[in-house]
Amino acid sequence: MNKVTTPKSFRVKSFGCQMNVYDGERMAELLGAQGMEAAGEGENADLVVLNTCHIREKAAEKVYSDIGRIVKDWDDDDGSSPLIAVAGCVAQAEGEEIMKRAKDVRMVVGPQAYHRLPEMIGRASAGERVTDTDMPAEAKFGALPARRKRAPSAFLTVQEGCDKFCTYCVVPYTRGAEISRPYGDLIDEAQKLVEQGAREITLLGQNVNAWTGEDAKGRAIGLDGLIRELAKLPDLARIRYTTSHPNDMTDALIAAHGEVEKLMPYLHLPVQAGSDPILAAMNRSHTAESYIRLIERVREARPDIAISGDFIVGFPGETDADFEATLQMVDTIRYAAAFSFKYSPRPGTPAATMGDQIAGDVMDERLQRLQAAITRDQLAFNQASVGKTCQVLVERKGRREGQWLGKTPWLQSAHFTGDYAVGDLVDVELLEAGPNSLSARVC
């Protein structure tokens, strides 16, 4: 076995959802607080953390090819080797398998245990191979250093885990049971993010709208209460939240969409399928009809709201008629944006062993038709925005000289020219629409 160096530089590479992006940022802050430097673009890092996603098969396979690439690129003239850590949901679900299959991996750390990375790195540097996939409920966030993120748009994880057990999904197994972070901690973290320049905060959770807590006076509150409190931070301009489950969409949260000006008019509310027998087999515990009614109520509270969703095609047993019902759902809701995936059997989930798994070519064809319908509606939504005036939060420079890119309240990408800086809120008129972005003119 090669000598392992004590790491001086690190890289954290995150795959998958926004919660992983958040975890990746916090791991980077933790490693920085230990005195390690983030490796620059194209530079080798002594320590590489692959923060993995297990939601679909391809995501897990990518991890193994990445490990191979890191080892190949490493300059081992001095007999050293890189410290590779696999973190995230693949680590949680397949920790032992990874250690067996990828001998170059020195650490496996689950999503609830990454606050212990410094100690693990010490042991791994001494030659040990270390696995920590414990799920200690509250420990992690309290043990992490304070936020150091400087960006106009920041993530804040308020809730983790899931008790819903949709039959296709690994999250209840990899992320564990639903846990809400305490109110006071969240207000503190939000304040720090705002002090460091955040104008927008997106509250994250696998089931974010199931968040519950107690406010400063000890009263029980839900996500709407947290949002109303965050809205009082003077320099915070925008609040978003994702991802929600239809059954946790309370009346109070719906009302907040009509009443809290800083809550942006955008709701990501996955439906997954449009057919009741498939929704039942998925254990979604809502029907197509109840979802449609829910969206109607949200639109009553906030008529201009952009609705986005997630879909799975080719769930076991999905007939042509079931799939037509999904297309019908898209026609009814008219999504401003939506993500669609081919069903991927996840080991250990109930759906993986269901009969009547759908053939790959059938899934391909269904996915294409669904995506065409979604793109059509996305373009229509953007076209309907043309002529509107709104604020855009400037996020980064565009490709052309003087061009800036930012997000509208409806989470559309807009580009415009002018003399601005990242973090500015600029009043624009939306001019021309494509399926993925709009051009704008400063008012």
Instruction: Using CB under 6 A, list all residues that contact ligand SF4.
Output: 16-17, 19-20, 53-55, 88-89, 170-171, 174-175, 206
Residue 229 binds ligand 5AD (CB under 6 A):
no
Task: Compute and round to an integer the Cα radius of gyration of the chain.
Answer: 23
Residue closer to ligand SF4 (CB basis): 66 or 224: 66
Residue 346 CB burial class (10 angstroms; 0-12, 13-18, ≥19) = buried
Q: Is 47 helix (H, G, I), strand (E, B) or coil?
A: strand
The correct pick among 341, 347, 357, 420 for binding ligand 5AD (CB under 6 A) is 341
- Interface with ligand 5AD, residue 168, by CB under 6 A: yes
- Give backbone dihedrals phi and psi of 84, rounded to 5 degrees, phi first: -110, 125
Q: Which of 115, 284, 302, 346 touches ligand 5AD by CB under 6 A?
A: 346
Site membership for ligand 5AD, residue 56 (CB under 6 A): yes
Cα separation, 280 vs 240, in Å, equals 29
Residue 56 binds which of ligand 5AD, ligand SF4, none (CB < 5-8 A, kind-dependent): ligand 5AD
Runs of H (alpha helix) within 341-391: 360-385
CA distance 246 to 131: 36
Q: How far is CA 374 from CA 207, 245, 333, 341, 370, in A?
A: 24, 20, 10, 12, 6
Supply 314's token pair.
């080719």
Choice between 21 and 379, CB closer to ligand SF4: 21
Instruction: Select from ligand 5AD, ligand SF4, none the partner in contact with residue 53, using the beta carbon and a kind-dependent cut-off of 5 to 8 Å.
Output: ligand SF4
Amino acid at 394: V
* Residue in the block written with tokens 């199931």: 210
Residue 140 or 175 having the CB closest to ligand 5AD: 175
Residue whose token pair is 């907040």: 256
Residue 97 in contact with residue 105, Cβ under 8 Å? Answer: no
**Shortest spacing between CB 140 and ligand 5AD, in angstroms:** 22
Q: Which one of ligand 5AD, ligand SF4, none is in contact with 112 (Cβ closer than 5 to 8 A by kind)? A: none
- Pick from ligand SF4, ligand 5AD, none: which does 20 bind, CB < 5 to 8 A by kind? ligand SF4
Instruction: Give the residue from 135, 140, 168 showing the smallest Cα distance to 344.
Output: 168
Site string for ligand 5AD, 252-271 (x = CB under 6 A): ------------------x-
323 binds ligand 5AD (CB under 6 A): no
Reading the block at residue 245, the tokens are 């489950």
Q: Binding segment for ligand 5AD among 146-154, 192-200, 223-231, 336-344 (CB under 6 A)? A: 336-344
19 binds, among ligand 5AD, ligand SF4, none (CB under 5 to 8 A by kind): ligand SF4
Helix (H/G/I), strand (E/B), else coil: 360: helix
CB of 165 to ligand 5AD, least distance (A): 12
**Distance from C-alpha of 120 to C-alpha of 226, rounded to nearest angstrom:** 35
Which residues of the shown chain bind ligand 5AD in the complex (CB under 6 A)?
55-56, 168-169, 270, 272, 310, 312, 341, 343-344, 346
